[in-house]
Amino acid sequence: MRTLFLPEGRLMATGKKSDGTMGKKIMTVEDYIATSGPFLEKEGFFEREIGRRTEQFGSVVHIFSTYDSKRKLNDEKPFMRGINSIQLWNDGKRWWILTVFWQAETADNLIPEKYID
């Protein structure tokens, strides 16, 4: 994972907090590995892309990547779905991840069909 991101790359989650306001969590790659890694390893986590929209201009790419997530690969139903907004940059040699910004689907914020293949 560390080799995919620029050193200043970030992972960001957003969603409704318990008081109903929108919140965000911004992490470095190291923050994400330290805080999420142990939980994901213990509980299991398999993410599958179920839709993609890509826009590119020169060395800048934006991807809307719709996902579903399971605890075990053979789980019948996902426990979560959402959309990753991914920004990539090409330095002339390779693509780097600048940011991954995501929001999980909720009952009052369903993923539009246009974002599912």
Q: How many domains does the chain have?
A: 1
C-alpha span between 81 and 30 (Å, rounded): 24
Yes or no: say if 28 and 10 are a contact pair by the CB < 8 Å rule. yes
Low-confidence residues in the chain, pLDDT < 70? none
Supply the pLDDT for residue 16.
93
Residue environment code for 67-90, b if the CB has 16+ CB neighbours within 10 A, otherwise e: bbbbeeeeeeebeebbbbebbbbe
Rama region for 29: left / alpha / beta (φ>0; ψ in -120 to 50; rest): alpha
Yes or no: say if 103 and 83 are a contact pair by the CB < 8 Å rule. yes
**pLDDT per residue over 16-50, tens digit each?**
999 999 999 999 999 999 999 999 999 999 999 99
Domain assignment of residue 115, yes or no: no
Domain with 100, as residue range(s), is 5-107
Domain assignment of residue 116, yes or no: no
Domain assignment of residue 90, yes or no: yes
Kindly report the CATH number assigned to the domain that includes residue 103: 3.10.450.50
Domain assignment of residue 114, yes or no: no
Residue type for position 109:
N
Supply the pLDDT for residue 19.
95
